[in-house]
Chain A
């Protein structure tokens, strides 16, 4: 008995010792200047966007002498792990960045502040992007950037094979025909198309074939409908039937961007954030067009946003910072000049300066694609849902299940594991 008691005392004692370690680090503030802690991942020094972000903050501090911004940049790979521990320890920054996919997970946990009361005029925002950060009717954040995917193509390969360039009207079968022509004309080592069968590409592929992964009001999964099974069969077929696309093994650990830049890939579906890299590192001519669908057009929507912590003691100031960085014309102009994704704004002058830059010649396709945006299905258990879907799509590619079997099993697992 004595021993147990002693052990108990020990544990309680260590709990007491530990408590302050996990306690709230109160933020200090001067008499009139408020310090706002700001944490983000998208602006990084590797791409020049870090410098752009510091410029934006400098402009903001000049306009708002009562606010001082303390910027902390964390790499994307570690960002969400550290954010999670800060949320748990009640030590989140006043303003922090979330991507659209993670936004609902955090919004549903009550750790974000409702900022609608603090937001000023939001008419300058692209409304689709703004609504993305609205959860259950409450505005929890503002979008700071958004981007979509387009079809990139290597003009030189099309010229060499004597095949006409892709147009906005192309469908999947046009892609397949052109790929086969190019591959038979140019021989081994050249691939026609790259678009992997992953959650991100699949949800969009499904929409391009007139389907959806969830019903209209998001109350049930509709993964294994006939049109979705067909979509999975066609998309997997690019790798395992028509073989216009290299398999994961044939890629041998090489990335899709690298394959394109090496001049051995005719067409690639990827994000517009590839512009900077491809402009600098492609030794051939390339251009873009709206990505082809099957029976319908659908394009990807990616967005990052700034949110305000529910624990912040300076929600008004924090919102002012978030809104300035995300949607002011000053910040947007800096963002465009640094080629840092697309600002989610509607200012004519900002957008026209974005359009003037080449390559690609057909930069309008970026904006035209916005007409077909389909946001991914977003649920509280977002990461788990996409991991489950990914794992069944792989079963199709590895031949261990037919498309029908895989999507049936996927539907069942989603229904049992993901609460809607």
Chain B
């Protein structure tokens, strides 16, 4: 932390270069280019060169100003898919927090065998989304799937899951919680371990019960970590994509699982509207930015930091 001024940067640069070069080339450059493309009606089906000499004239030739943004914001589709994303978040976020918190508490309980759970909860995180989504698709198959057959034992007629307009999104949520709870559980676990054990000892002496300890000590002291988890998962939730693509064909029954990134992908690679897709992705960026800013404001009010 003590590195000061320019000399520090100069000394650090050689060490940073390998990842910096990759970041510039494969993240920053495409981001800048997509901004240019969002102002054009490029189809994504004609040759393009990044050579500055021909790139700028190319943009100028296809330039349509802010037409793409105007069109997107005035058609109902954008608002529909945004509402699908928000619906996903409303279902996913509380479930994910409860499950990952439970994961963290179980692993952190230091009981015999709790380490086994650390592995079990983390396996879904390491599983590729495609494999995981295919398994969930099969689990949730209405007639032949294990989930509905299990429910049938208790006389419950399971829903049509991915084939139903109402249940398609909850099915995606279910799979996403399964996939993510281990990851966020690990982050929460880190927060749990950082809490000074003296608080618990003091609470024990004062005769607090487990409920009081959890809500009065653990939760407040974990609030900064929880906020971090919420922010991270919110950003990821807006970028919801692979599970939707694998689990539902053509964005679900009656378009029930049409979401932002799915639209961007379709416009860019299926409908030959690369410029439109680029504009769509910048709008997604703005939406995420707005939510993140709101959260930052909320953080100041609700988070207490333990010193």
List the interface of chain A (C-beta within 8 A of B): 10-12, 14-15, 17-19, 22-23, 80-81, 84, 87-90, 105-106, 109-111, 248-249, 251-254, 311, 380-381, 383-384, 387, 390-391, 394-395, 397-398, 400
Contacts and interface: CB of A to CB of B under 8 A. Distances in A.
B218 interface: no
Nearest to B32: A11
Contact of B50 (A18, A80, A311, A380): A18
Given A10-B24, A19-B49, A381-B272, 10 more contacts: A11-B29, A14-B24, A18-B50, A19-B50, A88-B47, A383-B270, A384-B273, A387-B250, A391-B255, A394-B255
B163 A15 contact: no
A18 B25 contact: yes
A111 B45 CA distance: 8
Of all A-B residue pairs in the complex, the 6 with the closest CB atoms, nearest first, are A384-B271, A252-B142, A252-B143, A249-B160, A90-B47, A398-B254
Given A109-B43, A249-B164, A88 B25 contact: no
Contact of B141 (A84, A248, A253, A380): A253
A11 B48 contact: no
Given A18-B25, A252-B142, A400-B254, A387 B47 contact: no
A19 B51 CA distance: 6
Contact of A251 (B163, B164, B272): B163
A253 B45 contact: no
B29 A87 contact: no
A248 B252 CA distance: 11
Contacts of B29: 11, 14-15, 18
B45 A84 contact: yes
Contacts of B47: 87-90, 111, 311
7 contacts: A15-B52, A84-B269, A88-B48, A90-B47, A106-B45, A254-B143, A383-B272
A270 B55 CA distance: 47
A310 B144 CA distance: 50
Interface of B: 21, 24-25, 28-29, 32, 43-52, 55, 137, 141-144, 160, 162-165, 250, 253-255, 266, 269-273
Contacts of A391: 254-255
Contacts of A381: 271-273
B52 to A, nearest CB: 6
Contact of B254 (A80, A253, A384, A394): A394
Given A109-B45, A387-B271, A398-B254, A249 B142 contact: yes
A116 B43 CA distance: 26
A390 B272 contact: no
Contacts of A17: 21, 25
A383 B141 CA distance: 28
B255 A253 contact: no
B45 A105 contact: yes
A14 B28 contact: yes
A251 B249 CA distance: 14
A109 B42 CA distance: 11
A394 B163 contact: no
Listed residue (A23, A88, A89, A400) with the most chain B CB atoms within 10 angstroms of its CB: A88
Contacts of B250: 387, 390
Contacts of A18: 25, 29, 50
